[in-house]
Amino acid sequence: MSGKKLRVIPLGGLGEVGKNMMAYEYGNDIMLVDTGIMFPESDMLGVDYIIPDFQYVVEKKENVRGIVITHGHEDHTGAITHVLEQINAPVYSTRLTCGLLEVKLSKAGMLDQVQLNTVKAGDLVHIGPFKVEFFHVCHSIPDSVGLGITTPAGLIVHSGDYKFDHTPVDNWPTDYAKLAELAGRGVLALFADSTNSDKPGWTPSERVIDSAFDEVFRSAPGRIIIASFASLVSRMQQVGNAALRHGRKLAFVGTSMVENARMARKLGYLDLPDELILPIDQALRLDPKEIVIMSTGTQGEPTSIMGRLSTGTNRQFDIIPGDTVVLSSHPIPGNEESVYRTINRLFRRGANVIYEAIAPVHVSGHASQEEMKLLLHLVQPKYFVPIHGELRHLHQHANIARQVGIPAENIAVVENGQVIEFENGEMRLGERLPGGWVFVDGASVGDIGISVLREREAIARDGFVLVNLTLNRDSSSLVCDPEIITRGFIYNNNVDDLVEETRHVVSEALKSDHNGSLQNDLQQTVKSFLYGKTKRRPMVFVTVSRE
């Protein structure tokens, strides 16, 4: 099948194309790029998270020469343990990313079995037939890289998540020179981040957050509580810098944030003096005007610190009037309602809440339209494949590429599972692999599918009704009143009349003849009766025992 051509495959189901995992395959050699998770959409009831379906690679696991991780965010790293459980291959990433992977692997007790290789921007690594050049890109986590991949079929540029920030917090801009140098060698194809393809202009620099923080620190009458992602190391730096400028002490709360801060300081990615940082219990003893607390919980998760603060159920401290809460984050699509609900609740408890819509306390880590044009001009690829986005983002990114002169026929908008082949300097679409999402729920991976989710949805819409009958063995008459249990259907205090009527309907139905099974007939009867009365369709189960 794969012959001697380069095959590039975004893996996973519907969702963001190639965001979580991509395979580069040439002959009998495969290199994986990223091993991320997806967060469930709101109708995926009970699902904890989703990993890409990488069965295609598992079947060829002997061919996998290496796994490259571009940066330390969950949607690029979160499935690492699931992948390494099935595929034994060395992992390549920069130091900070490697540190974050180590935290994950050591939690899973897998650190000893895994070969983690640290690379740095500028390095060239041979992974099977692929010569991979790592180049620095700005993103909302330090030490992010894009890849120049020299393959026997030609040179590919894989952008990773990127933006062109001229004044990033770590003063390390995206490597324009390397992009130009790759272009000089002739780039066969560019695979580039489409996340913000519907955002006009240029994404603001992380630096704008400094002034927003200064304004907050100047006017806050009491404590400042700043929520962000645990992996947003540059935001920790910015909060720390603001605390230094305004004479406050900084306390991190939440295991993942505390751990990541410790690791990032150890590795030198977070430059904060020891005397700035206090444990939370000490910080809480200071005057409210002397502290800033940094925590996770920006997505309205009820069990997160911000979630608990909003409902008055946090263990170590509560919101007090005069607190200023800053959500230095953007709601992940689908979380808007719960984020805004949390904000409303924090206001109700007396906090002043400052969030993205009110002040520039967050900026995106992804390139906007003008940056996308710049990347296309810098790289000058023959072919262009927009990745990292929903289909609507990819189409818009394709529009942008046409605007800057890439011929429409040299642009491929594909979905996950679509094989893209390169041979003799030409791109064409190969087969579409089967595949999809793998849902992770509780302790199990992959035993939940769409059908189970549809069942959950159906039960959730109207609840269910159980009818337990005990019949006389001989006469099929009721020995006692049917037992009726409902959940999620109607109020208990309204249910009495309806239950009584349902019992009556069942008794009547028992008197008539039954063509099919008694159980099915009664289920249909009860369903129709309840729909007639309530216009709702609960699941109905009838059990019959005889004595």
Active-site residues, by number, are: 193, 366
**Residue 397: HSE in the Cβ half-sphere, 13 Å Cα cutoff:** 32
Interacting residue with its own copies among 152, 186, 425, 488 (CB under 8 A): 488
Query: What 3-state DSSP class applies to 143?
Result: coil
Query: Scanning the structure block, which residue is given the tokens 């692999």?
Result: 433
312 binds its own copies (CB under 8 A): no
- Tell me which stretch binds its own copies (CB under 8 A): 98-106, 121-129, 463-471, 501-509: 463-471
Give least dist CB 48 to its own copies, A.
Answer: 9
| Count of C-beta atoms within a 10 Å radius of residue 377 | 13
The residue among 166 and 461 lying less far from its own copies, judged by its C-beta, is: 461
Q: How far apart are CA 471 and CA 479, in angstroms?
A: 5
Give least dist CB 449 to its own copies, A.
Answer: 6
Contact 131, 124 (CB under 8 A): yes
Interacting residue with its own copies among 285, 491, 515, 516 (CB under 8 A): 491
Residues 197-256 that bind its own copies (CB under 8 A): 198-199
Categorise residue 405: left if φ over 0, alpha if ψ from -120 to 50, beta otherwise: left
Interacting residue with its own copies among 266, 425, 485, 517 (CB under 8 A): 485
Categorise residue 58: left if φ over 0, alpha if ψ from -120 to 50, beta otherwise: alpha
Give least dist CB 14 to its own copies, A.
Answer: 8
Q: Where does residue 210 rank: exposed (0-12), middle (13-18), buried (19+ CB within 10 A)? A: middle
The residue among 39 and 134 lying less far from its own copies, judged by its C-beta, is: 39
SS3 assignment for 210-259: HHHHHHHHHHCCCCEEEECCCCCHHHHHHHHHHHHHHCCEEEECCHHHHH
The residue among 46 and 425 lying less far from its own copies, judged by its C-beta, is: 46
The residue among 86 and 543 lying less far from its own copies, judged by its C-beta, is: 543
Residues 176-205 that bind its own copies (CB under 8 A): 198-199
Interacting residue with its own copies among 4, 126, 432, 461 (CB under 8 A): 461
Query: What 3-state DSSP class applies to 530?
Result: helix
Residues 19-58 that bind its own copies (CB under 8 A): 41-43, 45-46
Give least dist CB 352 to its own copies, A.
Answer: 8
Residues 394-453 that bind its own copies (CB under 8 A): 395-396, 415, 441-444, 447-449, 451-453
The residue among 67 and 530 lying less far from its own copies, judged by its C-beta, is: 530
Interacting residue with its own copies among 58, 86, 460, 496 (CB under 8 A): 460
Alpha helices for 60-170 (secondary structure H):
74-77, 80-86, 95-107
Q: How far apart are CA 414 and CA 427, in angstroms?
A: 13
Interacting residue with its own copies among 481, 483, 496, 501 (CB under 8 A): 483
Residues 340-399 that bind its own copies (CB under 8 A): 340-341, 343-344, 347-348, 352-353, 355, 357-358, 390-392, 395-396
Structure-block tokens of residue 162: 């990127």
Structure-block tokens of residue 474: 């001989």
Residues 270-289 that bind its own copies (CB under 8 A): none
For its own copies (CB under 8 A), the number of binding residues is 71
- Tell me which stretch binds its own copies (CB under 8 A): 68-76, 135-143, 253-261, 480-488: 480-488
The residue among 142 and 300 lying less far from its own copies, judged by its C-beta, is: 300
Q: Where does residue 321 rank: exposed (0-12), middle (13-18), buried (19+ CB within 10 A)? A: exposed
Q: How far apart are CA 264 and CA 535, in angstroms?
A: 57
The residue among 32 and 490 lying less far from its own copies, judged by its C-beta, is: 490
